[in-house]
Amino acid sequence: MPTLFTRIINGEIPGRFVWKDDDVVAFLSIGPLSDGHTLVVPRQEIDKWTDAPAELMRKLTSVAQAIGQAQVAAFGSERAGLSIAGFEVDHLHLHVWPANSLADFDFSRAESNPDPERMEANAEKLRDALRSAGHGAFVPEQ
């Protein structure tokens, strides 16, 4: 049975994508820690990050870094947070979000019902920042 993320990647469940390439996608989290919180996900179903091939991990972290840089630019945060937890969905994913302090790393503070219009605006803001940074080839229109 496909994972939740595979269903999002395949378009069976909607997602606010900000990055798509042959190996990796990125879309906004439905439980954001801050505006622009993004999940970087391999297209390949891998449960644990420790089971991922090294080349795929390099690609995931490279995409996460590009997204983190765009988040800092787009949302004016001091830095970008990065976490690999893997307990929410059995499909490897990296959390990347704008952060200004260690308090911003507290997953118990994740928003449970974010405003859809604000989420759309955040996705477009992040897409624009990624395009401005030279990543337009990987940024979907929506």
- Report, as residue numbers or ranges, the catalytic residues: 93
H helices within 13-115, ranges in order? 54-75
- Contact between 81 and 96 under an 8 Å Cβ cutoff? The reply is yes
CA dist., res. 51 & res. 47, Å (int): 7
Angle at 123 between CA 98 and CA 102, to 5 degrees: 15
Return all residues near 22 (Cβ < 8 A) that are at least 6 apart.
43
